[in-house]
Amino acid sequence: MALQHEDGYWCALLTADTTLESDYILLQLWLQPPVAGAWNPPNRPQIQRAVDRILSRQLADGGFNIYVGGPSEISASVKAYFALKVAGLRFEDERLARLRERILAMGGVQGANSYTKVNLSLFGLYPREGTPSIPPEILLLPGGLLYQMSSWTRAIVVSLAIVHAHDPQRPVPQGFSLEELFVPGKSITFESDDSWLSWRKTFIQSDRIFKLWEKYGHARIREVAIRKCEHWMLERMKHSQGLGAIYPPMQYSIMAMDVLGYAPDNPLRLEAIRHFDDLMVDDGKELFFQPCFSPVWDTAIGGFALGEAGYGSSPALQKATDWLLEREIRRKGDWSVKRPNTEPSGWAFEFQNDWYPDIDDTAMVMLAFKHMKAGNSAAQEATRKRALDWLLAMQSSDGGWAAFDVDNNWHILTHVPFADHNAMLDPTCADITGRTLEALAANGFDRSHPACKRAIDYLLKTQLADGSWYGRWGVAFLYGTCFALRGLQAMGEDDHEPHIQRANEWIRASQNSDGGWGESCASYDNNTFTGTKSTPSQTAWALMGLLAGGDTYSSSVQHAVDYLISGQKPDGSWDEDLATGTGFPRVFYLNYHYYRIYFPLIALSAFVQAQAANR
C-alpha cells in the first residue's frame, strides 16, 4: 500500500536487457549526425551514462545476454558493440576486444537477427541486400494482411517500412565501421532450408522480387504506399503515449517522421521524442530505459492482491478503482477489424494506448473488481458489463484467448525473413485463457456458458504430456500451469480429475530443495521446463497452482509457504533479480519489479483461505 501513487495507481519499474540502451545511442546518432566527420552530440553526458549501463552488464566472456544468468546472445552483443564503439570506446579497449572476439565466436554480425541488421543498414554498416525488405506496399495489398500480424509487429513494420523505403544512408563518424565483426566467407544473405518447396523459401524468393521492385518499381505506387503508412502511423499516435506505447515502434516513428521531412520543431515530432524520452529512468546511480509503462497491469494485480488479503474495503482500493474506471477505452482500435460490431471497452497495459486494449489486462481488471469498488457504483457496473461483453467477443475460434487480437494465427507468416523477432503472431495461450476464465467466474459465469465450455476444452487440449501448460507471457511452464489451474478451479473443475492431478504432480516434481521454485528463460530455448534458483514470484505461481489443483496439505505446499515467509524482508517485500516476465520468447524478457511482492501476497492469501475452508 505504501507503493501506491497519490493518483491511485501502482506502476512498477519494468526493466529488460541492454538492447534498449544500445538502441537509444543508435537513435541519438540518427538525430544528431556527425559534423565534419566528428560526432559530438550535446547530450554526450547522457550517452556516456547509457554506455556505463551497458558495460555494467558485460559478461565474463565479453558478450551480453538477454536475461540475468543467461548466456551471451548474438544480437544483444552486436548492438552493444555498435553502441560502445560509436560512443567512443577505442578499438584497442580490452572490453571492446573481448566483445569482438565473442561476437565472432557466435557467428559474427551475420548471425544477428534481421532487425539488428536493418538498423545497421540504415548507416551503411550492413549490406542492404542482406536485410529483409519491409515494403510499405503491404498496406495496399487486399485481404488485410497487416492485421494478420501481431499488434506490436504491425506498429514496427509500418513505421520501419517508411524508413526503409527512403533507403537512408546516415553518416557515421569518420573512419567508423563494423568490418571487424564480419566472419570472412560467411554469407550475408538469408538462410533457407533444404526442401525444394517451403514457405521459408517462398518468402525469400518474394523478398528478391521486392528488392527488384524497390529499384525498378513504379514510383507513384510507392509514394501512395508511403503516404498510406504515414497516415496509419499518425492515426495510431493519437490517443496514445507514442506509437504502440512501446519502445521499438516509438523509436521507429521518430525516424519515420524524420525521413518524411517533419522539421525538428514540428509538434508531432517533438511529442514523439518526449514520449520516448519519458521511458528513460535516471535514479541518480545509473541511466536506463524501460520498454514501456505498466500501470494498469500493476494496479489491477496489486488491487486484486490486497483484496485477496482482506483489504477490499480500504480507501486505497476505491481510489485505485476510480483511476481504472477513467481508463476504460471507449474507442475502436485495431481489434475492431475482426470484430467491427463489438462495442469498444477494455484496458491497455500502459497509461494511454487506446488503439491496443488487451485481453489480459481487461481480464485482470475484471478479476480485481471482485474486491475493488468505485465511488460511483453505477458507473462501475456499466463498465463491467461492457468489458465482459468485449472479453467474450474477443475469444478466438479455438476457444482460447490471445493478448490483443482474435484468430491471429497465420503460421505461414513466421517464415517471413523479418519474423525472427519470434513475435510475428499473437496466438492464444493457456495463461491468458486461464485468467479470463477466472475473471468470468468472478463475474457470475460458470461452465455452462458456451464460451466457458469452449475455453475449458481449449485448456484440456493444450495441456502438455507431462501435465504442464506453456506460458506465453510469463516464464514459463510454471506461469502457464498456474493460471490454467486457477481458471479450471474457478470453473468448478473436479480436482480429482487425472489432468489436474498430473499438473499437481508436475509442479511438485519441479520444486527446489529450498522449498521454492525457479524457472530459467532457457525453458523457451529448450522447449521444456529448465530449473534455476528459486524466485519469490515463481514460487508463488507454483503454490497458487497447487492450491488451485486441490493440494492444500502436502509437504510441497508447506515448504513453499515456509520459503516465502523466511525470504520476506522486514519492509514486507522480497528480493528477485531474475527475469520472470516474457516479452518475446527467446528474444526479449522482462523484470516486473512488483511481481516479487503481489504474487507472494496472492499465494499466501490463497493458502490462508484454503486452510480456513478445510477447518
How high is the pLDDT of residue 525? 97
Q: Are residues 9 and 96 in the same domain?
A: no
Please report, for the domain that includes residue 87, its CATH number: 1.50.10.20
Q: Are residues 175 and 310 in the same domain?
A: no
Q: Are residues 310 and 333 in the same domain?
A: yes
Q: Are residues 221 and 266 in the same domain?
A: yes
**Residue 369, domain member (yes or no):** yes
Q: 3-class DSSP state for residue 384?
A: helix
| Angle, helices 359-368/295-308, rounded to nearest 10 degrees | 30
**Residue 298, domain member (yes or no):** yes
State the chain's maximal CA–CA distance in angstroms.
Answer: 79
Q: Are residues 32 and 80 in the same domain?
A: yes
Q: Are residues 245 and 319 in the same domain?
A: no
**How far, in whole angstroms, is CA 297 from its chain's centroid?**
13
Q: Residues of the chain whose pLDDT is less than 50? A: 193-200, 202-203
How high is the pLDDT of residue 195? 46
Residue 86 near residue 173, CB atoms below 8 Å: yes
**Residue 483, domain member (yes or no):** no
Domain that holds residue 28: 17-184+200-289
State how many domains the chain has. Answer: 2
The residue with cell 569482438 is 100
**Residue 151, domain member (yes or no):** yes
- Which of 360, 394, 428 corresponds to the end of one domain? 394
**Residue 532, domain member (yes or no):** no
Q: Give the list of residues 6+ apart from residue 156 with CB closer than 8 angstroms, or none.
A: 115, 244, 248, 249, 252
Q: Catalytic residue positions?
A: 360
**Residue 447, domain member (yes or no):** no
Q: Are residues 121 and 72 in the same domain?
A: yes
**Residue 357, domain member (yes or no):** yes
Q: Are residues 74 and 3 in the same domain?
A: no
Q: Are residues 80 and 153 in the same domain?
A: yes
Q: Are residues 297 and 283 in the same domain?
A: no
- Which of 394, 414, 437 corresponds to the end of one domain? 394
- Which of 374, 394, 414 corresponds to the end of one domain? 394
Instruction: Give the per-residue SS3 of 40-88.
Output: CCCCHHHHHHHHHHHHHCCCCCCCCCCCCCCCCCHHHHHHHHHHHHHCC
Residue type, 429: C
Q: Are residues 52 and 157 in the same domain?
A: yes
How high is the pLDDT of residue 214? 66
**pTM of the predicted model as reported, rounded to 2 decimal places:** 0.95
- Compute the distance between CA of residue 548 and CA of residue 488 in angstroms, rounded to an integer: 8
> Residue 536 is inside which H or E element, if any?
helix 536-548
**Residue 554, domain member (yes or no):** no
Q: Are residues 2 and 54 in the same domain?
A: no
Q: What is the grid cell recorded at 77?
A: 552483443
Q: What is the grid cell recorded at 501?
A: 492431478
